[in-house]
Structure formats: C-alpha cells, structure tokens
Structure 1
Amino acid sequence: MTLQPHPTSPLGPVEQIVAHFERVNRFRLRARFELRGAISQVVWPASVLGGRADDLWRTTCFEAFLAGDAAYWEFNFSPSQQWASYSFDAYRSGQRQAAEVASPAQLELEEHYAELEVTFERPPGVSHLGLSAVIESADGAMSYWALAHPSAKPDFHHPDSFVLDLP
C-alpha cells in the first residue's frame, strides 16, 4: 500500500512510502515502512535503547491507528527504536497510555532507501486500521503521509483515515 503525502505537505526528500501490513497471530501485528528518495536529507532520530516515549511524532515517526466500535488506539514507532501507544474513548478525547506494546526494529538505511519494521500488540475488538508517517526534512519542513487524507489539514485521528479492514 502506498502512503500519500497530504496535499498541503511541502515537497521534501521522500518520494515514496510503501507500507506492508500483516497479522502475525491473533494478538500481534506487523508493519513495514519502506521509503525511497534523498534519504540523507531526512532527519532520523538517534538510535537509543528503545522503550516507551512521548512526543515521537514531533520528528520523523511512523504510526498505526486502530479502531474498534467507538474507541481507537494510536501507535507511534520511532526510527530511534522508541515507541508509544495510546487509547482514546472517542475522536481526540479520553487519551491515556495504552497497555499494548510495540517493538520497532533497527532502522535500515541506504543512500536512496530506508526501511523500518515494527511489531505491535493488537488491541481487543479492533476492526479497522490506518497507517501514516511524519517526515522531517533537514531544512525543518514536515510532511504528513497516510493511506487517506479525509480532511483539509493533516489529521491521522480522523475516523475516515482508518481505511483498512482487519481480518
């Protein structure tokens, strides 16, 4: 599946983001994000030991949003190997840290290609998925990529962004 830049996103070093998604088993999901372009012009957070962290979306970060009946979950996957998971009661309300965990792998970088693979826990009762990315350029510009952009501003939380049905 190819992520699309939001129409208001500036042109940047990334030319294409392809996302691959699969269910590992009843409880775990896997996503792989492949980027093509001028990879050296992307801001890559420094690799750390990993673990849970907040505000990962403020620089280059990959995301998954999973929706159930009313509630939904947000996962952030940093190339630094840090991650975050939040649950929401409704659109942008009732946010709290979620119990579900993630495991971003080490970022693979080449001159014109980068890849990040992550596995993460599937929250109970989810049926829809949205995948997205925030890309920071060396010049400080931010671009927002997703499977769908249903609103005038980038908004990965928008219910119409969860376009994939989960098996």
Structure 2
Amino acid sequence: MASYELNAFDRRFQSISLVGAIEQLSPYTLNVGYWLRDPNQLIIYPDMVASNPRMDFLWEKTCFEIFIGVQGEDYYREINLSPSQAWQAYQFEEYRYPEQMPPKVADDIELNQLKRTHYGLNVSLDLTEFMLANKLKWSDLFVGLSAVLDITQGQQLFAMQHSGQQADFHNKRDWLHVF
C-alpha cells in the first residue's frame, strides 16, 4: 500500500489535512482510502443516499476523485466518489476530451464498495472490464488522487501535486502513483 499527502492548491490553507492510500489487489481490484483530519469541522458533507447510485456533477460538492491513466496513451478514466455514497466513472479520449457535460460515462469500471468512515472515505473498484478490454497490466497504469472539499469558507482543492498555475486534476503530470 502506498500513501500520499494531498496538498491544498491554496498553500496557505492548513486547517485540513488529507492523505490518500492506494492498494492494488490482484487481479483487477483497486482499493483507495482517504484519511481526513478536520479538527475544526470545516467540511460540509452532502446528504447520504442509499445503495451507491451513479450520479453526475458530484464535484460540485465535497467529492473525492481518482484518475487512472495508461502509460503511453492519451485516454484515461475519472472516478468521482461522494461521501453521500453516490459515485460515477467517466471516460476521456484525451485531455478533457470529449468536452461534453457531464462527461461520457465509463461503463467499464464497477464499484465493489464505497463507504464514508469516521476517518474519511474508503472505496473498492473493479477494473476488470477496463483492464481486459484494453489489454492492460497494473504496470501500464498510473493514478492520481484528488478531492474537492466544500468548507464553511468556500471550496478547497486537494491533489497529490499541483504543477500548473491553476488547479487542474486532469493534469497527468500530477498523477504520481505507479504500480
């Protein structure tokens, strides 16, 4: 298991700390945990929903995200995970393309489990169809973790790294985990 401290785009913001951990379970299961420290209880959580529905526009509220890239390829997947227990997976052919809103749903990634915990959020994803259809091995993949946190003073954007002038979770340079 590898863990990463996610950094706020606003470097002055130190009130919340966020760590993401990634674990590959053979042959095609990806587990990710997010650990939050919010001592001042600044985060605003969306209302809970039942049975893990797929929903669009989750990033408009507190949302955790996983980006899965493929070495040497332009296409990638974005998975949005809400503490409400809703989720969605999107497919992109290249950087933010196609540009439709909401993005095109990725039916080749399935949710095994998503739950909000006392420490943050835990998810287990089934990548079987995505990996088999594209003839991928774990060593072909790289992953980025990020989060949009609604807080009482607005929104804070967290990622493994912010290498651009603007916060951009789709920037593959900031997806640091390799298998």
TM-score of the aligned structures, taking structure 2 as reference length? 0.82
Alignment-derived partner of residue 159 in structure 2: 146
Post-superposition offset of 1:145: 0.5
CA distance in 1, matches of 2:87, 2:15: 24
Q: Which aligned pairs between 1:85-164 and structure 2 lie closer than 5 A?
A: 85-94=89-98, 95-99=103-107, 100-109=109-118, 114-122=119-127, 123-124=130-131, 125=136, 126-139=140-153, 141-164=154-177
Task: Give a deviation string over 1:11-65, Cα, whole Å, max 9, x none.
Answer: 3742x10111101222110000000023632111111012100000111110100
Say whether the 8 Å CA contact 2:115–2:123 is kept in structure 1. no
Post-superposition offset of 1:103: 4.4
Alignment-derived partner of residue 49 in structure 2: 48
Aligned residues: 159
Amino acid at match of 2:105: Q
CA distance in 1, matches of 2:175, 2:69: 7
Say whether the 8 Å CA contact 2:23–2:32 is kept in structure 1. yes
> Which blocks of at least 5 consecutive residues in structure 1 are unaligned?
none
CA distance in 2, matches of 1:165, 1:136: 29
Say whether the 8 Å CA contact 1:81–1:103 is kept in structure 2. no
Q: Percent identity?
A: 26
Q: Which runs of 4+ in 1 moved over 6 A?
A: none
Q: 1:2 aligns with which of 2, 5, 8?
A: 5
Task: Give a deviation string over 1:68-110, Cα, whole Å, max 9, x none.
Answer: 122000000100000010010000002411011224533123x
> Which blocks of at least 5 consecutive residues in structure 2 are unaligned?
none
Aligned Cα root-mean-square deviation (Å): 1.8
